Structure 1
C-alpha cells in the first residue's frame, strides 16, 4: 500500500512538472516585444539632434549571429546593408542645450512628447515592461558631444 502511495505521489509530481513546463513553453511564445528608443542630445550650443526612434520592420537576429568555438572561429559575414532598417518612425525632440546652456523648457517638452508616445503604445495594447537609460556625456576638453539614450521595452500578447 505504501509503495503504491509513493508511486502515485511521484507520478503526480511528474505530471505537474511536465504540465508546468508545457505551460511555460506556451507562455514564452505568447508575447511580442517592441523597443522604442529616445536619443536626446547633450551637445552644447544646441547643435545635436534628438529623436524618438521606432522601427517599422522586423529583423531575425539569427541571420546576423554566429556561434564561435575553439574549433570553428568563423564570424558572421552579414553586411551592414542587410542589417540596416530603412522603414522607421522618427519623432523630433528638442535638444537639452541651446546657446544659453541647459534648457529646462526643452526637457519638459520632450517629456510631453515621450509621454504621448508611451500613451499611444499603451492604447495599442502594449505594456511598458522595462526602461533602460544611459548617458554618454562630455568626456572633457575638446569633447563637446554627448547623448542621453533611453530604451522603452514594451510587450503585448501576440495575435495568433
Structure 2
C-alpha cells in the first residue's frame, strides 16, 4: 500500500510538471502595496504637527502638511474639512490609477492622564496588481 501511494504521488508530480511546461509562458501575478498615513495632532493652539505621509511601492515617501485639529479656541472644523478634502482627493487619485483600498487601521495615542495632547493616526493600505512577469 505504501509503495502504491508513493508511486501515485510521484506520477501526479510528474504530470503536473509536464502540464505546466506545455510551451506557453507561465505568468505570475503579484500585488504592489502603498500605504497612506494621516497623523493629526490633538494639541491646542496649533502647537502640534499634523502630516499626511505616503509610502510608495518602491519605499520612497512623500510628506504633506495637514492642519491641526485644534486652534486656540478649541476644535477647528475648517481645518478638519481641509484635511478631509486633501485625503479624499488623494484617495480618488490613487483609485483612478487602479489602486484598491485594502484595509484601514485607526490608532489613537493620548500623551497624559489629563487628556491634553495626543494624536489620531489612520493607516490606509492600498494595493494593485503589478504587471505580470514572464517566468523562464
Q: TM above 0.5, one fold?
A: yes
Change (3 A) 1:134 1:153: same
- Over aligned residues, Cα RMSD in angstroms? 2.9
1:139 aligns with 2:121: no
SS of residue in 2 equivalent to 1:125: coil
Q: Distance in 2 between matches of 1:148 and 1:105?
A: 17
Deviation at 1:32, TM superposition (A): 1.2
Equivalent residue pairs, number: 114
> What's 1:36 paired with?
36
Deviation at 1:156, TM superposition (A): 0.1
Select the structure that is richer in strand.
2
Per-residue CA deviation, residues 62-81 of structure 1 (Å, 9 max, x unaligned), is xxxxxxxxxxxxxxxxxxxx
> What's 2:75 paired with?
102
> What's 1:157 paired with?
129
Q: Is the 8 A contact 1:57 1:88 kept in 2?
A: no
Q: Is the 8 A contact 1:94 1:106 kept in 2?
A: yes
> What's 2:120 paired with?
148
Q: Distance in 1 between matches of 2:91 and 2:131?
A: 21
Q: Distance in 2 between matches of 1:138 and 1:104?
A: 23
SS of residue in 2 equivalent to 1:145: coil
Q: Distance in 2 between matches of 1:108 and 1:126?
A: 24
Q: Distance in 1 between matches of 2:58 and 2:88?
A: 24
Unpaired stretches in structure 1, ≥5 consecutive residues: 1-10, 19-25, 60-86
> What's 1:92 paired with?
65
Q: Is the 8 A contact 2:32 2:57 kept in 1?
A: no
**Residue among 116, 131, 139 paired with 2:89:** 116
Per-residue CA deviation, residues 12-47 of structure 1 (Å, 9 max, x unaligned), is xx89xx8xxxxxxx87x5211111101011112221
